[in-house]
Amino acid sequence: MTYYDGTKLLSMMDINGKKPELFMVTTNRTGGKTTWFNRYFVKKFKAGQGKFMLLHRFNYELSDCHDKFFKDIHNLFYPDDNMSSRCMAKGLYYELYLNDVHCGYAVALNGADAIKKYSHIFNDVERILFDEFQSENNKYCTDEIKKLLSVHTSVSRGRGKQIRYVPVYMCGNTVSLLNPYYTALGISDRLKQDTNFLRGDGSVVEQGYIKSAGDAMMESGFNRAFSSNDYVAYASQNIYLNDNFSFIEKPEGRGRYMYTIKYLNKHYAIYEYDSLGIMYVTDRYNESFPIKLSLTTDDHNINYVMLAKNSLMIGSMRQLFNRGCFRFKNLECKAMLLKLLSY
């Protein structure tokens, strides 16, 4: 039986050979990544290497933050230690205590604006952990990336420096390639099925698979009973929608031509199969069709409409994609749509 080990991830440099400040990891469920990083944070504190911050998405998640963080590692590694928390600033943040010694804080992203006023309190934080950064129910904060940047700025300022090095560690399951973080970092259309590590500017991403955890999930009688459900495959097999040839098929019947899209000087067509509730993307297009869209300034031209990243059309298409309503002629068409939806 093997569990996740983040040692290699934390030893890596970014794409420019510099020390990353953002470490991200996704694996199949029950692989042990949360346990590994929770223990890593406690070990660092016990070694005198500073306090930490636990980052959550919404304030209601903070009330039992110490228990969620410490319960498993208490049973496994620290049976003689105890953790508690104290509500501060009317629930805006919580102070964390290990054996009654102040060890860190817990804050929520949706309180980012108010947290600015308390930035002086957090200048003793040395590292930040954001677990479950991908939401299974697709519920994210409005402008979540901006909120994360705001919290990090509030934490990293002070102590005689304009900006300190405060690494952020983000753990999650393989929910969707179109999560806000992969979109913002340009990861959505770079990850492949066989990608283990992906370096960016200031970041390193690990895409792991813990085989023993996947086998245990599949051997569970409860999961076998629901083996045809997509959730079991996601939880046990570490599947992303674009990591394989899923949805590469042409719908039956006749579709209605909706629009032409130009990307990297190549044209694609999107059809709607209304009776099936399906949208189909192909590289066979009608040059004379009047509704033409472009994704980049390089592709933009006369008679084209350049899509804004917050357009209603992209929002609607993203919802359809997340519901599995798209089909593609090939992987190239699929990659184009991923770029469109993450644009």
Question: Which pLDDT tens digit goes with each residue over 325-340?
Answer: 999 998 778 878 887 8
In-domain check, residue 119:
yes
Local structure of residue 261 (DSSP, 8 states): E
Do 265 and 180 belong to one domain? no
In-domain check, residue 231:
no
Query: Which pLDDT score is estimated for 190?
Result: 78
Question: Which pLDDT tens digit goes with each residue over 213-232?
Answer: 455 555 666 556 655 555 54
Q: Hey, is 337 helix, strand or coil?
A: helix
In-domain check, residue 230:
no
Query: Which pLDDT score is estimated for 215?
Result: 57
Tell me the residue range of the domain where 98 lies.
7-216
Query: Which pLDDT score is estimated for 173?
Result: 87
DSSP 2-20: -----HHHHH---TTSS--
At 235, is the pLDDT very low, low, confident or very high (cuts 50, 70, 90)? Answer: very low
Do 185 and 66 belong to one domain? yes
Query: Which pLDDT score is estimated for 292?
Result: 94
Do 70 and 201 belong to one domain? yes
Q: 37-46, 163-172, 173-182, 254-263: lowest mean pLDDT where? A: 173-182
> Does the predicted TM-score (pTM) go above 0.75?
no
Q: 6-20, 33-47, 289-303: lowest mean pLDDT where? A: 289-303
Percent of all residues in the chain with a pLDDT value above 70, rounded to a whole number: 87
Given 165, 191, 216, the domain boundary residue is 216
Instruction: Select the more confidently predicted residue: 171 or 2.
Output: 171
Question: Which pLDDT tens digit goes with each residue over 244-291?
Answer: 568 989 999 999 999 999 988 889 999 999 999 999 999 999 999 999
Do 14 and 163 belong to one domain? yes
- For residues 20-30, give the mean pLDDT: 88
Do 131 and 274 belong to one domain? no
In-domain check, residue 239:
no
In-domain check, residue 246:
no
Q: 57-66, 128-137, 221-230, 240-249: lowest mean pLDDT where? A: 221-230
Interior/surface letters 28-43, b for 16+ CB within 10 angstroms, e for the rest: bbbbbbbbbbbbbbbe
Do 122 and 42 belong to one domain? yes
Based on the structure, what is the number of domains in the chain? 2
Given 160, 185, 216, the domain boundary residue is 216
DSSP 198-246: EEETTEEEEE---HHHHHHHHH-HHHHHTTTSHHHHHHHH---TTSSST
At 343, is the pLDDT very low, low, confident or very high (cuts 50, 70, 90)? Answer: very low
- For residues 299-316, give the mean pLDDT: 85
Query: Which pLDDT score is estimated for 240?
Result: 54
Do 39 and 107 belong to one domain? yes
In-domain check, residue 129:
yes
Of 27, 19, 335, the residue nearest 186 (C-alpha): 335
- Hey, CA dihedral for 279, 285, 290, 294, is it positive or negative? positive
Do 260 and 207 belong to one domain? no
Rounded to 5°, angle at Cα 322 from 252 and 268: 55
Question: Which pLDDT tens digit goes with each residue over 67-122?
Answer: 999 999 999 999 999 999 999 999 999 999 999 999 999 999 999 999 999 999 99
Do 183 and 330 belong to one domain? no
Do 93 and 182 belong to one domain? yes
Do 184 and 316 belong to one domain? no
Mean pLDDT of the chain: 87
Do 62 and 133 belong to one domain? yes
Residue appearing with tokens 């930490």: 52
In-domain check, residue 58:
yes
Given 150, 184, 216, the domain boundary residue is 216
CATH, residue 129: 3.40.50.300
In-domain check, residue 227:
no
Interior/surface letters 169-184, b for 16+ CB within 10 angstroms, e for the rest: bbbbbbbbbbbbbbbe
